[in-house]
Amino acid sequence: NLSTIYFVTPTYPRREQVPELTRLAYTLLHVPRLHWIVANDHNACNPYLDTLLNRFGIPYTHLASPMPQRFHKAESKPRGVANRRAAMQWLRQHNITTGVLYFGDDDNTYDLKLFSEIRDTKHVSMFPVGLIANYGISGPVVCKGKVIGFLDSWVAGRRWPVDMAGFAVSLSYMAEHPNASMPYKPGYEEDYFLRSIGLTLDMIEPKGSNCTEILVWHTQTKNHERTMVKLNHEYLDDRSN
């Protein structure tokens, strides 16, 4: 009797969207009892995305969750926040108070062991994330089976200096915190979210053999938009010469 994992994926329209979601889908297809919440940064549900998601045969919910207009010109954008907020609202509206919530971006890389590890999360489980910033890793420091601190190359005054992919939350625990929220504050989404659910250090369940294993990586796909723009400019320059 496995509990359901609600895997929340923020995504946005760009050239890499279909390959990213395809790669991710073929990982998720190996996972039993998983509900995929795909929240697209777009003003409506794209039929092309529905067609793609339907083909995989994974139980899913497709949400349209555009980033508010006021952030479009910000130099540092709250990436994926409107998406995750929409997913949390959907879970609340459907009164889903059992199972496990995990925020899994469309470009990360997931070991299948991650899913069996987080499935029995009682309150909040945590584990290291590979390929984060300078140190190349971000994660809890564990002593005698308890989390006593964190290793992260950008602490920046955060109480919970962890990556979005480095924790999972039980939905029955979340239900006790109806004010759970994620701020539009780049860099501080995880910290404020974990504060909003009243997290305490002794509550954290370390996963992956006491956080010694890396089961998720913050991989990033090269964005070719800039290259394309440059090529286009070169093409226009050539024409005017």
Which positions touch ligand UDP (CB under 6 A)? 10-12, 41, 67, 77, 79-80, 83, 105-107, 220
Nearer to Mn ion, 191 or 205 (CB): 191
> How open is the CA angle 82-115-94, to the nearest 5 degrees?
45
Which of ligand UDP, Mn ion, none interacts with 11 (beta carbon under 5 to 8 A by kind)?
ligand UDP
DSSP string, 166-182: GEEEEHHHHHT-TT---
Minimum CB separation from ligand UDP for residue 139, in Å? 16
Catalytic residue among 16, 20, 190, 205: 190
Q: With CB under 5 A, what is the number of residues at the site for Mn ion?
A: 2
In the block, tokens 């760009």 appear at 14
Minimum CB separation from ligand UDP for residue 106, in Å? 4
DSSP string, 15-75: TTHHHHHHHHHHHHTT-SSEEEEEEESSSS--HHHHHHHHHHT--EEEEE-PPPGGGTT-S
- Per-residue burial over 213-235, b = 16 or more CB atoms within 10 Å of its CB, e = otherwise: ebbbbbeeeeeeeeeeeeeeeee
Minimum CB separation from ligand UDP for residue 204, in Å? 23
Which of ligand UDP, Mn ion, none interacts with 106 (beta carbon under 5 to 8 A by kind)?
ligand UDP
The residue number with the shortest CB distance to ligand UDP is: 80
Nearer to ligand UDP, 226 or 239 (CB): 226
Which of ligand UDP, Mn ion, none interacts with 191 (beta carbon under 5 to 8 A by kind)?
none
Distance CA 241, CA 225 (A): 24
Nearer to ligand UDP, 80 or 130 (CB): 80
Measured CA to CA in angstroms, residue 133 lies from 141, 151, 169, 186, 189 at distances of: 17, 12, 24, 15, 17
- Per-residue burial over 187-204, b = 16 or more CB atoms within 10 Å of its CB, e = otherwise: ebbbbbbbbebebeeeeb
Which of Mn ion, ligand UDP, none interacts with 79 (beta carbon under 5 to 8 A by kind)?
ligand UDP
- The total of other beta-carbon atoms located within 10 Å of residue 48's CB is 10
Minimum CB separation from ligand UDP for residue 213, in Å? 21
**CA diameter of the chain:** 70
Residues 94-113 that bind Mn ion (CB under 5 A): 105, 107
Minimum CB separation from ligand UDP for residue 90, in Å? 16
Question: Is residue 190 annotated as a catalytic residue, yes or no?
Answer: yes
Which of Mn ion, ligand UDP, none interacts with 139 (beta carbon under 5 to 8 A by kind)?
none
Nearer to Mn ion, 16 or 105 (CB): 105
Q: Which residues bind Mn ion (CB under 5 A)?
A: 105, 107
Residues designated catalytic:
190
